[in-house]
Amino acid sequence: MNAIISASELAAALQTDRPPVLLDVRWQLSTAAANGEPPFDGRAAYAAGHLPGAVFVDLDRELASAPGSRGRHPLPDLAVFGAAMRRAGVSAGTPVVVYDGGIGWAAARAWWLLRWTGHPDVRVLDGGLSAWQGPLETAVPEPAEGDFVPEPGDTGVLDADGAADLARTGVLLDARAGERYRGEVEPIDPVGGHIPGALSAPTSDNVGADGRFRPADELRARFGELGVTPGAPVGVYCGSGVSAAHEVLALAVAGIPAALYVGSWSEWSSDSDRPVAVGPDPR
């Protein structure tokens, strides 16, 4: 099954006798607080207009635990995550489509969590809300309680030691902007740079000018140029495990399985004993 769905495909699916549950996960990475500005309010954006029947999911509170030593967006408490999914009407046998404002990072985080915890049928709206051509609504739906119970998988997630090992033995991709990878700037975390051996692979290269994913063959070529070969173990990290989920999604579109280092750079850089590399050379 394709990991993404187009707006036209979604419109058709919503007219069937088995329509997908829609999750609205609008969220933005922001440094506004440091500048004395109010942060982006995804719930307010949802209230102003969302896909008909969609339920809002809070990334910071329901798709992650509180920030701490494990990073800015560590894995959520599974009881909290499961309750949020059931509240939204998610059941094990019901298809799910997730969307955000367009960049795709937050939607990919929800997609990854649902897939990692055992949901068999979840896709991301390619291009997000901006790709949707149908009507929006402001009414807050009250779906019937779902029955989904998250069961974490045995694979697909990395800790700091696993990420360091993969950088040596496989392919570890850094999904952040190139200047953060190189250590030229670091607007959020304690120090700039990257995990030694990791390769720079910004998420911006996953999509075209319209914000939609590049075709699968183009993505395979892109990752092939980074050394991703058939059978090679692949992992991805970013700042806090959100945009890296978008990279894992792009890899899935290309037919390449990959693990996510959820703690990512926000966890790695919090420990001064962990090595930090700077510059364009992954070595």
Model pLDDT, residue 40: 86
Measuring CA to CA, which residue among 250, 244, 170 is closest to residue 206?
A: 250
261 beta partners: 158
For residue 240, give Cα distances in angstroms to 11, 49, 53, 129, 151. 32, 28, 30, 23, 22
Q: How many residues does the chain have?
A: 283
For residue range 202-240, list pLDDT tens digits in order. 999 999 999 999 999 999 999 999 999 888 999 999 999
Residue 31, pLDDT > 60, answer no
Q: What domains are defined for the chain?
A: 4-131 (3.40.250.10), 157-268 (3.40.250.10)
For residue range 123-153, list pLDDT tens digits in order. 999 999 999 999 999 999 999 999 999 999 9
Measuring CA to CA, which residue among 211, 222, 208 is closest to residue 254?
A: 222
For residue 117, name the pLDDT band (cuts at 50, 70, 90). Answer: very high
Model pLDDT, residue 136: 97
Model pLDDT, residue 32: 45
Q: Of all residues in the chain, what percent carry a pLDDT higher than 70? A: 97
Model pLDDT, residue 33: 43
Residue 155, pLDDT > 70, answer yes
For residue range 176-211, list pLDDT tens digits in order. 999 999 999 999 999 999 999 999 999 999 999 999
What per-residue string of b and e applies to 84-121 under the rule 16 or more CB within 10 Å gives b?
Answer: bbbebbbbeebbbbbbbbbbbbbbbbbbbbbbbbebeb
Model pLDDT, residue 34: 47
For residue range 42-74, list pLDDT tens digits in order. 999 999 999 999 999 999 999 999 999 999 999
Q: What are the residue numbers of the active site?
A: 238
Residue 102, pLDDT > 90, answer no
Model pLDDT, residue 35: 56
Model pLDDT, residue 1: 74
pTM across the whole model: 0.95
Model pLDDT, residue 105: 96
Say which DSSP state 141 is in. P
Helical H segments across 117-215, by residue range? 160-169, 178-182
Distance of CA 279 to the CA centre of its chain: 26
Residues ≥6 apart with Cβ < 8 Å to 259: 155, 156, 157, 158, 162, 166, 233, 234, 235, 236, 248
Q: What is the mean pLDDT of residues 157-164?
A: 98
Model pLDDT, residue 29: 79
